[in-house]
Chain A
């Protein structure tokens, strides 16, 4: 199984900060990586797919990059609505796994 390691596990930031979250795969997954945002008591929401494609309706302050084994999610200017937990998710050879999550907290 491919393991997905997210870092950091918790991040404290202020409104307006640029935030970067990293996801590393234990082996190459090409660009088959998605990012989700989850708020307490809610289902995850798709932000980015195929590593860098922005889902329709998602603000442009969210962006994704990377390929192979290292990927990043960047929020260019953190907004109050962005305080949440973020997960990466990979696909490889009929199996899917999620990263452990990154909680973005108010500093």
Chain B
């Protein structure tokens, strides 16, 4: 079955860029039926959608993060990635990658999440 796995540094310094990758296994990221998304959750708080990408490279971002976010896709590696620039302590969170069903707009598959801490 299809699985998602986040990877990347668990500690990032303030003002630097957070970079994470999500690897899709057991299926193709090029399936036309899904977008690929990033979502985050600060400790003890709710979920925040960061953005999504289609296999074509088309993206949409949360307006509140848009100026700092870049999501990209590498179909040859079956991966998509997140870059969040100019991070502060407020960006400390568990970051999830997730699969978003096209035209039905729900997340049906999630990675296990990875904790990223912003600290000097």
A interface residue numbers (CB < 8 A to B): 1, 32, 34, 36, 42-46, 49-50, 55, 87, 89, 91, 94-101
Query: Which residue of B has the minimal Cβ distance to A29?
Result: B105
Counting contact residues on chain B (CB < 8 A from A), the size range is 20 to 34
B48 at the interface (CB under 8 A from A): yes
Q: Is the CB of A43 within 8 A of B106?
A: no
A49 and B49: CB pair below 8 A?
no
In the complex the two chains form, what is the Cα distance from A84 to B97 in whole Å?
Answer: 21
18 contacts between A and B (CB under 8 A): A34-B105, A34-B106, A34-B107, A43-B96, A43-B111, A43-B112, A44-B96, A44-B110, A49-B101, A49-B105, A49-B108, A89-B107, A94-B60, A96-B105, A98-B48, A100-B46, A101-B46, A101-B47
* B 80-120 contacts with A by CB, 8 A: 96, 98, 100-101, 104-108, 110-113
A26, chain B: closest CB distance, angstroms: 14
A98 CB to nearest B CB, Å: 4
Contact across chains for A95 and B63 when beta carbons are under 8 A apart:
yes
Residues of B near A43 (CB, < 8 A) are 96, 98, 110-113
B62 on interface, CB distance cutoff 8 Å: yes
In-complex Cβ contact of B104 among A50, A96, A98 (8 A): A50
Answer whether A1 and B108 are a contact pair too, CB < 8 Å, given A87-B47, A98-B49, A101-B46: no
- The answer on a CB contact under 8 Å between A44 and B47 is yes
**A50 vs B116: C-alpha distance in the bound complex, in angstroms?**
32
Residues A46 and B47 in contact in the complex (CB < 8 Å), given A1-B63, A95-B60, A95-B62: no
User: Contact between A46 and B108 (Cβ–Cβ < 8 Å)?
Assistant: yes
Q: Which residues of A contact B108 (CB under 8 A)?
A: 46, 49, 55
Whether B106 contacts A46 by the Cβ 8 Å rule is: yes
